[in-house]
A and B are shown apart, each in its own frame.
Chain A
Amino acid sequence: MPATFIKCSLSNRLMFNEEDLVHKISADDTKAFEILVKQYEKLVFHVVTRLVGDEQDKEDICQEVFIKVHKNLGKFKFQSRLSTWIATIAYHTAINYLKRHRKHDSHPCTGTDLDNYYFTNDDPQQILSKKDVNKYVNDLIEKMPEQYRILLTLYHLNEFSYQEIENITGMPVGTVKNYLFRARKLLKEKLQDYLQNDIT
């Protein structure tokens, strides 16, 4: 068993020894870096995917994120969890990409007023996907403003706390809670209609 992992007797699962891994990567251990990439590639992909619509660019942006992680790992002083730090880099890299490509951004929710956002009627494509609740919810999330999309992903999928989300996005905890509440309320209303129609 590599020294990077230590066995946790409480949960009987392998725990990730962040400090050991970071020190090895700082000493130019490429195998250690590959372990880090495997550990966090899903996290980075989820964050980037929720913000960036272009399929071709997603992989390039994820690549850019990990190159930045490698370059700046020496500056990481464990003031937060490694996952929070990496998610912050992923978030800001994706946001910078969006700013550079804003004029070409075809997402319908660019510049949306979040306080008054609501779903429009279903399109025929969406009606076809209604057989799958998970797919239906994901399709709805894709239509939402980027702030809602990223907060839903960071909180539910990546399981960050409110404080960690504040550190990643720069949004105050109060705003994060408020946006999450509104986003979930909107999704619930659509889902309720869907479930109602499905039953009848």
Chain B
Amino acid sequence: MKLTEQEIQQLLEDGLKKPDSNDKDFNTYLALFDALKKEPKAGLPYYFPARITALIQVKHDLNIGFKFYLLTLLVVFIVLTCIYGILSVIPQQNALGILAMVLKYKGLLLFGTVVFLVVHYIDQRLKSNRVV
């Protein structure tokens, strides 16, 4: 008995075979199902997994870098607040003396902090560019 197209496709989906090997339709479908399972030759380059992983790592490091900047700002703010608090409670004479000394080196302190942050930023950018 000749099978319909739907029946043939259902048979092959279920992994069954028809005993009658003269059925042209069935044999064509069999060849088709075999061809459909074959993987195409093209694919992604061999370095693809390593590249994606490196990209994820850089994004992760950049994320930590951003949190680092925020933390640095917070620490600086807390330190300045503490200094202000200390200067408020100690005798004015001593406070003025300490403040004068700090202000004497304000340029150096500011410059040092900026250089530190810029170097850190450039390092992160170089890392991300290397991966891309």
Chain A residues in the interface with B (C-beta under 8 A): 28, 30-31, 33-34, 37-38, 41-42, 45-46, 49, 59, 62-63, 66-67, 70, 133-134, 136-138, 152, 156-157, 181, 184-185, 187-188, 191-192, 195
Contacts and interface: CB of A to CB of B under 8 A. Distances in A.
B44 interface: yes
Interface of B: 5-6, 9, 24-25, 28-29, 31-33, 35-40, 42-45, 48-53, 55-57, 59-60
Contacts of B57: 30
Query: Which secondary structure dominates chain A's binding surface?
Result: helix
B35 A30 contact: no
A93 B64 CA distance: 27
Nearest to B35: A137
12 contacts: A30-B53, A41-B48, A45-B44, A59-B44, A67-B52, A134-B35, A137-B32, A137-B35, A156-B33, A191-B28, A191-B31, A191-B32
Contact of B50 (A34, A49, A157, A191): A34
A70 B9 contact: no
The DSSP consensus for interface residues of chain B is: helix
A63 B5 contact: no
A181 B8 CA distance: 10
A30 B50 CA distance: 10
Contact of A37 (B29, B31, B48): B48
Contacts of B5: 181, 185, 188
B63 to A, nearest CB: 10
Contact of B28 (A41, A66, A152, A195): A195
A195 B37 contact: no
Given A41-B44, A181-B6, A184-B9, A63 B52 contact: yes
